[in-house]
Amino acid sequence: MSKNPLNDLGSSLGEYLREQRTAAKLSLRQLSELAGVSNPYLSQIERGLKRPSAEILQQLAKGLEVSAESLYVKAGILDAEVAPLSDPPDVRGAIAADPALTERQRKTLLDIYESYVEDTPRQ
């Protein structure tokens, strides 16, 4: 059993943030600048050492272009059943998180997806 009670929650949130950041092809430093969160603090969140506030999660969601609700659920702030499904599905995150895919398959799928959406205006 873990000595730090944040480890289980923090690591799943941290892993999710890292997957989203990687899928968005952002470095830790780039996301930190986009979200207005310090690079060391973001690193601690990804490693499960810090538990961010709802405001920080909101900033990270904007930087990653994902729904804040998805981050709130991962952080345990919202229940998954209560979280509204207001945003479209996060294709990049789903590809990054799929354990059945190899890294090469993930990259290929992301490249294909990006080629379709780069010319399509966001709604």
Domains of the chain, by residue range, sit at 6-117
Reported as a single tens digit per residue, the pLDDT across 58-114 is: 999 999 988 888 888 888 887 766 545 555 667 888 888 777 888 899 889 988 888
pLDDT digits (tens, 9 = 90+) for 25-58: 999 999 999 999 999 999 999 998 988 988 999 9
> CA 78: distance to chain centroid?
16
Count of other CB atoms within 10 angstroms of residue 48: 19
pLDDT at 35: 92
Under a CB-based contact definition with an 8 Å cutoff, are residues 32 and 26 in contact?
no
Alpha-carbon distance values, 50 to 6, 20, 21, 105, 123 (Å): 8, 18, 17, 32, 34
* Yes or no: domain 6-117 corresponds to CATH 1.10.260.40: yes
Give the per-residue pLDDT at 72. 84
pLDDT for res 6: 43
Q: Looking at residue 1, what is its pLDDT?
A: 42
Tell me the three state secondary structure of residue 98.
coil
Q: Is residue 95 within 8 Å of 109, Cβ to Cβ?
A: yes
Instruction: Specify the long-range contacts of residues 62-70, CB closer than 8 Å, at least 24 apart.
Output: 62/34, 62/35, 63/26, 63/31, 63/34, 63/35, 63/36, 63/37, 64/17, 64/20, 64/21, 64/24, 64/26, 64/31, 64/35, 65/24, 66/20, 66/90, 66/93
The token pair that represents 92 in the structure block: 């990049």
